[in-house]
Amino acid sequence: MGALRLSCLVPLLWLMGCGGPSDPVIQRQFFAFGTLIEVTVADVPPEIAEPAIEAIEMRFHALHRQWHPWEPGPLGDLNLAFREGAAGPMHPSIATLLDRARPLAEASGQLFNPAIGALVRLWGFHDPETLHGPPPEPERIRELLDPFPTIEAIEIQDGMARSTLPGLQLDFGAVAKGVAVDEAIALLRRHGAPHGIVNAGGDLRAIGRRGDRPWRIGIRHPRQAEVLASLEVAGDLAVFTSGDYERFYEYEGKRYHHILDPRTGSPAAGITSVTVVTEEAATADAAATALFVAGPEHWPEVAARLKIRDALVMDRQGVAQLTPGMKQRIRFELDPPPPVVLRPLP
Ligand code: AMP
Ligand code: MG
């Protein structure tokens, strides 16, 4: 979460190029995946935009139910079966998620690892009710990482899934929103709407243009309620951010956040937010998480392995680390801008 579509009501940004009041833009909001989803459609009449948005809303609600790891439903039931050491039915939409996630998990060296659901639960990041300290005992963390869980441990046969590792739990929270946004964009196009944005709580994919101008996207500052930078999108691009401010608690003066390093079992240190820009939302989502976990030194190596060219990393020192591609794309809106370090990809 972290990209905001810049509102045309902000005077400065209006001057910077938002459309006028006659812009034919239709916008709807609804809640799904625990966040506000906003769909914006440009340049088509309501007869096309409205059914497209309705289809997207229904799809988001269905996916929310199917992909929730801890509530009754296809994924929640499968996790329950795994906890009991049993096999469970592999729902087609979970199979789709697994297929999307597998190459990303592998390319990231399992820094993006949807098989660490039990660890997420142990830390309490799965439920607002358990979002408090103290952090888990190191011994309990170690138990969940040895043997190391990956989605490769899941065997599927005749429509049934079984885990070869006891206690493996699936949590697609780091990629599901991206996969859903990609599906929503496909729905927009199928309904004949080639210009629009699907924004899931600040993570978005934009296609086409807004009238005769590109879409203008804001990236939020990880520590201030302000726009850090902006970029223009004309064509088809996803902008996804992972940040330590999205879900966290403080315990004895220390911040514990929801992006866990599967190598240590604890919150990944050294970065406050990562924004990735690439074509597909699923890739952008998983990559933002993976780069966050890789840390302030090594993230360019992981970006290269995931074929991400455009990334912005805000490190703990407040330095904006940028790939050369991202430097071309963004403009800092903060005054003064943060210190910048260029990080070429290996
Ligand atoms: P995101 O906001 O996309 O970075 O996703 C964070 C969410 O994904 C967390 O709330 C967890 O449910 C889950 N998660 C945390 N750490 C990881 C990780 N290293 N790999 C995969 N999923 C993770
Ligand atoms: Mg993610």
Nearest alpha-carbon partner for 113 in 104, 121, 122: 104
Q: How far is CA 256 from the centre of its chain?
A: 19
Contact 233, 214 (CB under 8 A): yes
* pLDDT at res. 309: 98
User: Residue 152 Cα, ligand 2 centroid: separation in angstroms?
Assistant: 20
CB contact at 8 A, 68 and 77: no
Of 257, 259, 299, the one to substitute when testing ligand 1's pocket (max ligand atoms within 8 A of C-beta) is 259
Q: What is the pLDDT of residue 167?
A: 84
231 CA to middle of ligand 1, Å? 25
Q: Are 312 and 298 in contact (CB under 8 A)?
A: no
CA of 259 to the centre of ligand 1 (A): 5
Question: 329-340 pLDDT, tens per residue?
Answer: 999 999 999 999
| Ligand that comes closest to the CA of residue 101 | 1
57/178 Cα distance (integer angstroms) = 15
20: exposed, middle or buried (Cβ count in 10 Å: 0-12, 13-18, 19+): exposed
Name the average pLDDT for the chain. 93
Could you identify the residue written with the tokens 């699936």? 170
How remote is the CA of residue 112 from the centroid of ligand 1, in Å? Answer: 7
| Residue 181 to residues 186, 188, 278, 283, Cα–Cα distance (Å) | 9, 10, 13, 11
Dist. CA 77–CA 82, nearest whole Å: 9
Cβ pair 311, 276 in contact under 8 A: yes
- Select from 204, 260, 261, 266 the residue to mutate for testing ligand 1; criterion: most ligand atoms less than 8 Å from CB: 260
Q: How far is 264 from 24, CA to CA, in rounded Å?
A: 50
- Nearest residue (by CA) to ligand 1, atom 1, is 174
pLDDT less than 70: residues of the chain: 1-23
pLDDT at residue number 13: 34
pTM higher than 0.85 for the full model? yes
Give the separation between CA 31 and CA 240, rounded to whole angstroms. 18
Nearest to 176 by CA among 73, 254, 313: 73
How far, in Å, is the centroid of ligand 1 from the Cα of 25? 33
